[in-house]
With several copies, the nearest count.
Chain A
Amino acid sequence: MLTKEQILQWLQTFAAQIEQNKDYLTELDAAIGDADHGMNMDRGFKKVILQLPTVADKDIGSILKTVSMTLISSVGGASGPLYGTLFLQASTVVAGQQELSDNDVHQMLKAGLNGVLQRGKAQLGDKTMVDVLSPAVSAFQQALSEGNNILEAMQQAVTAAEQGMKDTTPLVAKKGRASYLGERSIGHQDPGATSSYLMLKSLLTVLESSLG
């Protein structure tokens, strides 16, 4: 189960993670992109943090929708619409809810992933955030279906996410700016995959600190 407070903590933790890793994400983007991913994400999540108090007493769906709208109107680039759509789709499946069952969490993550897939048309192995989100959602579902609780499921999701993130390094990018580099994109970890990993890890951190 995931409470509204945990959702808010998650967003705050993620925002802090982004701030902390801003330069790192930008460096990753400098290697195969245009050196702005850290700045983009940080600009968006700083705005999100400002917005959160105004919706803290609303339901989880409304909160996530606000996150989405804020990201869409402040991030720009590729990550703006992608993370914006992720949170938008996630928000629709949890509309009106004050807390989420383990399955709700799975539905939420899956909806988010589908939003990214729809908006960005990337496939697994294209060296994008999909390479983190997709295996993570699968691992989460698998773990739940094997009877694990949400903390355990999330641990496995993050393990899969980390693996997916690292596995982007040897890939040739096929979507986003990095794709223009062709073979030269090999040997660099994808920035969007890295921020997506941070997003999932932030959720795990929240779960661990509540339950641990």
Chain B
Amino acid sequence: MKKFINKPDDFVRESLEGLAAAHPDLVKVHYDPTFVYRADAPVNGKVAIISGGGSGHEPMHTGFVGMGMLDAACPGEVFTSPTPDQMLEAAKKVDGGAGILYIVKNYSGDIMNFEMATELARTDGIRVLSILIDDDVAVKDSLYTQGRRGVGTTVLAEKICGAAAQQGYDLQRLADLCRRVNLNGRSMGIALTSCTVPAKGTPTFELGHDEMEIGIGIHGEPGRQRLSVKSADEMTEMLALSMIEDSPYSRTMREWDENQGEWVDVELIDPLLEQGDKLLAFVNSMGGTPISELYIVYRKLAEICEKKGLQIVRNLIGPYITSLDMQGCSITLLKLDDEMIQLWDAPVKTTSLRWGV
């Protein structure tokens, strides 16, 4: 393994120290428990948004802390969800009195840790709602699995909800918006190489010189299928069609009922993509794929969407939700409404996503 790290055990900590050193105007880092928070937190009267998850997906989430996006991010060890005390302490630090929205990716570890954090926050008198992101269409059924994974839509939900919080949405309205973004988002990814987890030191899986994994998540786990590599156009088509032709996905999700103070099951179904829909197209590098290749993917994606009568009205292209040094790419298609468009365009000032200010 060749990486710019010192000891594998110090990877997360030292990377955060670098982040803090580089951007003291934007973020601060608290250690033990570890979380990154807006330098100007708490913002009085604003709902605070907290996300988190395993490290190794940078810039998500730590790079998205700042005005118009996250109030705090809780990084776990590499690919390991953070612990409830991190989330609880972060909530205490950034709570501006209007409550906290946890944006959680649908992994058993993340869910269980955030559930515990939600319960703990409540006993500490902090209002918390929690929304799960599960947008990865590679996972087909929800009955026999943990359900879809949370991937690219997470970034978009954080941006859109971050803008809404900044504009004064209250906690319930924000949670509803976040759920809506999730239901309208779909993702699918391909790996050309495995990533290498620093503590392990060798690639998580081995891919032959002409093989690719399709339907991967973001944790270096193998995908659903191993195929021989194809052209950029063919790979793009596989990804795009798996989303565009995705049949309605229904699942039961647990959400926190503030009034009853307990977890309740809610039935959720994705709206289908239809001709004339406006989309945000997000072409994402898994970390090791350069932007020049992402544009080749985008080129074909735009062509396919046009053919299908889908209108790409916004896009995001770059490495935003990664798997360490993995070569590969994922596409996220988010069906937009006018409210989401306005919120997407709103100013954002974080270390890794910035415009309008």
Contacts and interface: CB of A to CB of B under 8 A. Distances in A.
Nearest to A22: B199
A36 B116 contact: no
B76 A72 contact: no
Interface centre among A33, A173, A182 (most CB of B within 10 A): A182
B82 A78 contact: no
A132 interface: no
B59 interface: no
Given A73-B33, A80-B83, A179-B146, A39 B112 contact: no
Contacts of B81: 76-78, 80
A76 B200 contact: no
A30 B112 contact: no
A34 B220 contact: yes
Contacts of B113: 76, 80-81
Interface in A66-88: 72-82, 84
A177 B146 contact: yes
A50 to B, nearest CB: 14
Given A36-B197, A78-B109, A180 B33 contact: no
Contacts of B144: 172, 174, 179, 182
Contacts of A119: 112
Interface string B78-109: 11111111000000000000000000000111
Interface residues of B, number: 37
Interface of B (DSSP majority class): loop
A80 B109 contact: yes
Interface in B209-224: 217, 219-222, 224
A174 B221 CA distance: 15
Contact of B83 (A32, A34, A35, A75): A75
Contacts of B80: 34, 36, 39-40, 75-77, 80
Contacts of A40: 77, 80
A77 B33 contact: no
Interface residues of A, number: 35
A180 B109 contact: no
B108 A175 contact: yes
A184 interface: yes
B221 A34 contact: yes
Contacts of A75: 80, 83
Nearest to A179: B145
B205 interface: yes
Nearest to A173: B145
A115 to B, nearest CB: 11
Nearest to B143: A174
A36 B200 CA distance: 8
A14 to B, nearest CB: 20
A74 B315 CA distance: 33
B193 to A, nearest CB: 15
Given A72-B83, A175-B146, A177-B146, A35 B220 contact: yes
B116 A30 contact: no
Given A78-B107, A175-B146, A179-B146, 10 more contacts: A34-B204, A35-B204, A35-B220, A36-B79, A78-B81, A81-B112, A81-B116, A82-B112, A177-B107, A181-B222
Of all A-B residue pairs in the complex, the 6 with the closest CB atoms, nearest first, are A81-B112, A179-B145, A78-B109, A34-B219, A77-B109, A77-B80
Interface of A: 26, 30, 32-36, 39-40, 43, 72-82, 84, 119-120, 172-177, 179-182, 184
Interface of B: 33, 54, 76-85, 107-109, 112-113, 115-116, 138-140, 144-146, 149, 197, 199-200, 204-205, 217, 219-222, 224
